[in-house]
């Protein structure tokens, strides 16, 4: 099926076209230009004053719309995939943590099964395991944490059947060096996070192969005499980081410091969204703990933030309306940058011929009007 989307403008995201037309053939973008003559039989969708941008890629998300990605049911992951596509997300890594280390094994098997069945909405690219080899739990259960164990890592990677892409590790724990080496061997990218590592300990981990920083500033130390993981990452152009720019997890000035120090090409926007994200306020179970969603904050009883209630469109809107980035820059940080980190930059994260037809249409108020995931249309009404 061929069709054309027409809108006031498009961000590729590196270039801006105004007006803009995108020709989609099946699941792939065939052409993008200011105007395209519709081929015989092609349907034309007029999107008026909307801006077309590459679909959002969320590298750190636990669930949303009532769906949990830490599930033993691959169908629930499929449900999230369709719900997220209606909100402009066209690819994601499933972030998994569990009550106890061994509990992660069936969750990884379910994610691997969801990938082999194929997701019809947002594409599940792989798994981000948030632990268990961490030292600072943040909102994660303390019982999830365990000392580095390369043999257990191999067991986890085996359960994930090749789809374990990213793992958050605290590098200061005894045995972390060997764990980082084992992760590299297993094809798993190591992210530093949930850690009290000093700058020197983090420098060492990056030299050993760690390449990413999990929710920068959150659940890590940062002090002017010991800038920790952030200080070490700044010296390494090959290291990327992710930020939860929901206005709750980071002061806007803290987000601005990271974006200006590292540059947008090294910063991915993530939600760290949890199961109730996108739902009305109320009480929910998060990883076996009782949490309350109120005023855009997901809180545990002690007042710890229990992940975020934001969607990718929310973080993009927060960044742009807060004056932290223009829409083009926010689009780069929500598509092209995470596509690179997720290893899919050759087919996702850009509006260009041959790329997956992963597109979000945003209103002038930056609300999601509609989205296309590998050519299939979604909107917020899709369940």
Q: Site residues (CB under 5 A) for Zn ion?
A: 95, 130, 272
Which residue's CB is nearer to Zn ion, number 221 or number 350? 221
Minimum CB–partner distance for residue 287 and Zn ion (Å): 10
| Cα separation values, 355 from 23, 58, 82, 149, Å | 12, 18, 20, 39
Q: Is 111 in contact with 100 (CB distance < 8 Å)?
A: no
Report the distance separating Cα 206 and Cα 187, nearest Å: 16
What is the DSSP code string of 196-263?
---HHHHHHHHHHT--EESSTTTTB--BTTB-HHHHHHHT-TT-EEEE--SSSSS-HHHHHHHHHHH-
Minimum CB–partner distance for residue 70 and Zn ion (Å): 10
Strand-pair category, 297-299 with 28-33:
unpaired
Minimum CB–partner distance for residue 267 and Zn ion (Å): 17
Which residue's CB is nearer to Zn ion, number 189 or number 329? 189
| 3-state SS assignment for residue 165 | strand
Minimum CB–partner distance for residue 130 and Zn ion (Å): 5
Give me the helices (H) in the chain, please.
74-85, 104-117, 150-159, 176-185, 199-208, 228-234, 252-262, 312-321, 327-334, 336-341
Which residue's CB is nearer to Zn ion, number 140 or number 380? 140
Question: Is the four-CA dihedral 111, 69, 336, 42 of positive or negative sign?
Answer: positive
Minimum CB–partner distance for residue 206 and Zn ion (Å): 21
Q: Choosing from 58, 103, 246, 272, which is the catalytic residue? A: 272
Which residue's CB is nearer to Zn ion, number 142 or number 383? 142
Which residue's CB is nearer to Zn ion, number 58 or number 358? 58
Residue of minimal Cβ distance to Zn ion: 272
Q: Find tokens 């009782």 and name the residue.
A: 290
Q: Find tokens 């933030």 and name the residue.
A: 305
* Phi, psi angle pair for 267, to nearest 5°: -120, 120
- Closest to 176 in 3D by CA, of 201, 144, 200: 201
Check if 272 is active-site: yes
- Closest to 263 in 3D by CA, of 203, 332, 189: 332
| Cα separation values, 158 from 116, 117, 343, Å | 15, 18, 20
Minimum CB–partner distance for residue 348 and Zn ion (Å): 22
Q: Is 52 in contact with 361 (CB distance < 8 Å)?
A: yes
Which residue's CB is nearer to Zn ion, number 241 or number 351? 241
Catalytically annotated residues: 272
């Amino acid at each position: 099926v061929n069709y054309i989307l027409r809108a006031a403008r498009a961000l590729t995201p590196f270039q801006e076209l105004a007006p803009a037309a995108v020709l989609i053939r099946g699941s792939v973008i065939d052409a993008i230009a200011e105007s395209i003559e519709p081929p015989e039989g092609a349907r034309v969708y007029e999107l008026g004053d909307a801006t077309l941008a590459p679909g959002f890629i969320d590298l750190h998300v636990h669930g949303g719309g009532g769906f949990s990605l830490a599930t033993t049911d691959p169908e629930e992951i499929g449900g999230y995939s369709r719900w997220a596509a209606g909100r402009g997300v066209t690819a994601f890594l499933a972030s998994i943590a569990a009550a106890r280390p061994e509990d992660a094994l069936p969750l990884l098997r379910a994610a691997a099964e969801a990938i082999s069945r194929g997701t019809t909405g947002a594409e599940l690219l792989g798994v981000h395991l948030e632990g268990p080899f961490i030292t600072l739990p943040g909102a994660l259960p303390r019982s999830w944490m365990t000392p580095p164990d390369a043999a257990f890592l191999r067991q986890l990677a085996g359960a994930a059947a090749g789809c374990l892409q990213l793992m958050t590790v605290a590098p200061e724990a005894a045995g972390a060096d060997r764990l980082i080496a084992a992760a590299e061997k297993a094809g798993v990218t190591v992210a530093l996070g949930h850690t009290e590592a000093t700058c020197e300990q983090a420098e060492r981990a990056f030299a050993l192969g760690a390449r990413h920083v999990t929710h920068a500033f959150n659940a890590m130390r940062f002090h002017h005499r010991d800038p920790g993981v952030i200080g070490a990452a700044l010296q390494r152009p090959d290291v990327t980081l992710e930020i939860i720019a929901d206005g709750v997890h980071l002061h806007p000035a803290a987000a601005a410091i990271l974006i200006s120090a590292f540059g947008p090409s090294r910063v991915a926007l993530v939600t760290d969204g949890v199961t109730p994200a996108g739902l009305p306020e109320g009480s929910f179970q998060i990883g076996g703990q009782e949490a309350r969603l109120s005023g855009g904050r997901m809180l545990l009883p002690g007042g710890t933030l229990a992940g975020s209630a934001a969607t990718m469109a929310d973080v993009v809107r927060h960044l742009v309306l807060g004056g932290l980035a223009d829409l083009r820059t926010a689009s780069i940080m929500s598509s092209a940058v995470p596509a690179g980190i997720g290893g899919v930059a050759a087919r996702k994260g850009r509006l260009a011929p041959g790329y997956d037809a992963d597109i979000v249409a945003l209103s002038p108020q930056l609300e999601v009007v509609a989205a296309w995931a590998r050519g299939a249309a979604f909107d917020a009404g899709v369940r």
